[in-house]
Amino acid sequence: MTEDSRKATAQKAAVVTGASTGIGEATVRALAAEGWTVFAVARRAERLEVLEAETGAVAIPADITEDDDVARLLASVTAAGGVDTLINIAGGARGADQLGDANTGDWEWMYRVNVLGTMKITRAFLPMLRATGEGTVLNLTSTAGLAAYEGGAGYNAAKFAQHAMTGALRLEEAENNIRVIEVAPGLVHTEEFALNRLGDQQAAAKVYQGVEKPLTAQDVADVVRYAVTVPHHVNLDQIVMRPVAQAANHKLIRKQA
Which candidate in 111, 149, 155, 226 is catalytic? 155
- Known catalytic membership, residue 208: no
CA nearest to 17, candidates 124, 108, 97, 133: 124
Spatial distance between the Cα atoms of 63 and 73, rounded to a whole number of angstroms: 9
Q: For 209, what's the count of Cα atoms within 13 Å in the CB-facing half-sphere?
A: 9
Task: Please list, in sequence order, all residues whose beta carbon lies within 8 angstroms of the beta carbon of residue 32, skipping any fewer than 6 positions away.
Answer: 38, 55, 56, 57
Spatial distance between the Cα atoms of 157 and 142, rounded to a whole number of angstroms: 11
Asked if 40 contacts 48 with a C-beta cutoff of 8 angstroms, the reply is: yes
Task: List 59's β-bridge partners, or say none.
Answer: 40
Written as one string, the DSSP assignment of 44-58 is -HHHHHHHHHHH--E
In our burial notation (b when 16+ CB lie closer than 10 A, e otherwise), range 68-101 reads: ebbeebbeebeeeebbbbbbbbbbbbbbbeeeee
Asked if 94 contacts 144 with a C-beta cutoff of 8 angstroms, the reply is: no
Which residues are marked as active site? 155
